[in-house]
Amino acid sequence: MAGVTTAKKDHLSHEMGMHTEGLLGRTQQRFFDISEENVGYGYPDAPDVDFNKRAEIDCENLETKQINIQLRDLIRRGCGTIVLKNPGSKHSIAVGILNRLNLYIEGSCGYFACGLTDGPNIRIKGRVGWACGENMLAGTIVIEKNAGSQFGAALRGGDLVCKGSVGARTGIDQKGGNILVGGDTGSFTGFMMQRGRMVILGNAGKNLGDSMYDGTIYLGGEARSLGVDAVPGVMTDLDREWLTRKLKMYDMYPQGGIDHIKKIVAGKQLWNYDNLEPGEKKLVL
Amino acid sequence: MCGIAGLIHRDGSGNIGQEMTAMLQSLKHRGPDSTGYAIYGSPGRNEYVMRFKVAEQEDMSKGFDIHDEVRRRRGIVEERLATLGVHVIERDDATEYAYRYRIQYDGDMKKLADYVEDVEGTEILSMGNALELIKDLGDAARVADQYDLRKFKGTHGIGHTRMATESDVDIRSAHPYWAYPYNDIAVVHNGQITNYWMMRREFERKGHRFMSNCDSELLAVYTAYNLEHGATLEDSLKQSIQDIDGVFTYLVSTKDSLGMAKDTMAAKPMVLYESDNLVALASEEVAIRSVIHHEIDTWDPYDEEVRVWRA
């Protein structure tokens, strides 16, 4: 993980083995290292795939389980490019794929689409239901239409992109990676966000960034209200450089350009990773 | 969890029975306990359709006497209808214990409902000018076959697949709910209402009847009360977001409208498709896809969103 200092074991919590990361300096700037993005793809036992080897699955008369079994079977046989036709908004399509793959889903998906993935590049032509890309570790998911609530819940890495609008609690508990939204988002966007970056080119609902611990939200439009402990941040050249590059990557262009985008960060009044553990907490421990 | 669905044809009548069955069947995984429909046909002049039951489905498997008992109860209902001067135009036996009567009556609807429901085991499921409310245990395919719903033509409808959490698995606790005296209103709900008992007591003091212990019934009574007191459907839906506590997404249908409201937390799902001639909405997109096969754009309404469509 970029920028996390090694534990010096100089706090009681370290000695107790509760965590190994240094508590000092866990700020946004320290995580902000463009050069380290997209590094670390691949799962130890993942099969090698050939991107020129292409296959199709017609999901019309298949149950979710059958679709996912066929998908895994094709990956095992080395298919690197797979097209899913007629997904029919079924739930849990393409979950838990742990290797590189180009996956095209020609239609809409239901709940938990492409969750727990680690590496594949997925493009969805339709809409997705709740919790798309939840717990994704690496890779990209690009959705052409709208998305439901809890978009990218507990996202840990990779790029999760929705060209349309998304529902409530987008990026709830986000722990890394990037969420990019071309349209609007609902209430409690970025709720309890811990790390990572979120870009919303449209408007956001009420309580944007409520109880966020860390991470950055970039907002192109207006928010109905900011949540508890979410405060306006200062845009730097690094922010602008990253936004320009990232949005261009997915053909997303904010109205009024990058300069109109606002930055929202954690006020760190509720929780502050930069500080030592509070004395009273140590007593409890 | 529960699944809710609604459909409204804005350019005349459609195959609403078949369409609602397809939508509800695809939501079966959200709740297989019971399925209910509130569908709206062509209103007859000075006519009402009364759907009522005289026993629960599970009562029918409790011995041989129940069959005689059901006939006896129905006989009493018939007597009471005659006493009140109700003219029964048509009688359909949907099942052994649930019936559909086409009636003419110009008296007090509340008096009629109270008098009929006073018969043991009897509950009026709906008494509407255009509304027909059908609910029973099992999935949509079973209920549709049992009540011959696939041929039903109408303008709009709402439906519910129930996963029972707070009250029993029986017809009484199944959705949709109606409420008198506003007799063409029906409600389906997904969520939990936390100030149910407090509000129920308020409405009971005002003389409203509650047939079940299901929190969703409150929404039907609440909406009926508001409409009776001059509010529009849109006003009532907006006000409910302030008055009703808990997490909810619910659909309300009246003789000519379909409305939806989502709570302040947007905690319960709803997917919406809207075109010039058709509006379809459901807990999951898979239900909308079961009636619309071409590529469409759908989206999630946001928190505190209220929408009303007219047939």
Domain match, B242 and B290 both: yes
Domain match, B79 and B155 both: no
Domain match, B226 and B118 both: no
* B285 to A205: CB separation less than 8 angstroms, yes or no: no
The verdict on residue A90 lying in a domain is yes
Domain match, B33 and B51 both: no
Q: Which of residues 172-191 of A touch B (CB under 8 A)?
A: 184, 186-188
Domain match, B122 and B140 both: no
- pTM, whole model, 2 decimals? 0.87
Domain match, B222 and B77 both: no
A166-185 pLDDT, tens digit per residue, is: 999 999 999 999 999 999 99
Say if CB B34 and CB B162 are below 8 A apart: yes
The verdict on residue A2 lying in a domain is no
Instruction: State residue A269's pLDDT score.
Output: 80
Q: How far is CA A213 from the centre of its chain?
A: 16
Instruction: State residue B109's pLDDT score.
Output: 86
Name every chain B residue with its beta carbon within 8 A of the beta carbon of A148: 269, 271, 300
Instruction: State residue B165's pLDDT score.
Output: 81
Residue range of the domain that includes A117? 12-17+41-284
Find the catalytic residue in B2, B140, B174, B280.
Answer: B2
Q: How far is CA A196 from CA A24, A87, A132, A188, in A?
A: 18, 30, 17, 16
Q: What is the ipTM of this complex?
A: 0.86
Q: How far is CA A25 from the centre of its chain?
A: 23
Count the domains in chain B: 2
Structure-token pair, residue B19: 């369409």
Domain match, B65 and B26 both: no
A243-273 pLDDT, tens digit per residue, is: 999 999 999 999 889 999 999 998 888 776 6
Q: How far is CA B187 from the centre of its chain?
A: 5
Instruction: State residue A197's pLDDT score.
Output: 94
The verdict on residue A7 lying in a domain is no
Biggest distance spanned by C-alpha atoms of chain B:
56
The verdict on residue A26 lying in a domain is no
Count the domains in chain A: 1
Domain match, B19 and B53 both: no
Q: Which of B95, B128, B161 is the last residue of a domain?
A: B128
* A149 to B271: CB separation less than 8 angstroms, yes or no: no
Domain match, B62 and B91 both: yes
Q: Which of B128, B157, B188 is the last residue of a domain?
A: B128
Identify the CATH number of the domain in which residue B256 sits: 3.60.20.10
Q: Which of A108, A127, A149 sits opposite B269 (nearest CB)?
A: A149
Residue range of the domain that includes B201? 3-43+136-310
B189-213 pLDDT, tens digit per residue, is: 999 999 999 999 999 999 888 888 8
Q: Which three-class secondary structure state does DSSP give residue B202?
A: helix
CA distance B72 to B78: 10
Domain match, B171 and B273 both: yes
Q: Which of B68, B97, B128 is the last residue of a domain?
A: B128
Name every chain B residue with its beta carbon within 8 A of the beta carbon of A225: none
Identify the CATH number of the domain in which residue B109 sits: 3.30.70.100
Q: How far is CA B116 from CA B78, B122, B124, in A?
A: 9, 7, 8
- The neighbour count for residue A101, using CB atoms within 10 Å, is 24
Instruction: With cut-offs at 50, 70 and 90, classify the pLDDT of residue B34.
Output: very high
The verdict on residue A222 lying in a domain is yes
Tell me which residues of chain A have a pLDDT lower than 50: 1-7, 9, 11, 13, 18-38, 284-285
B259-308 pLDDT, tens digit per residue, is: 999 999 999 999 999 999 999 999 999 999 999 988 899 999 999 999 99
Q: Which of B266, B286, B298 sits opposite A186 (nearest CB)?
A: B266
Domain match, B62 and B22 both: no
B214 catalytic? Reply is no
Identify the CATH number of the domain in which residue A217 sits: 2.160.20.60
* Half-sphere exposure for B248 (CA within 13 Å, toward CB): 27
Domain match, B102 and B163 both: no
A13: left (phi over 0), alpha (psi -120 to 50) or beta: alpha
| Helix or strand (DSSP H, E) at B50 | strand B47-53
The verdict on residue A135 lying in a domain is yes
Instruction: State residue A161's pLDDT score.
Output: 97
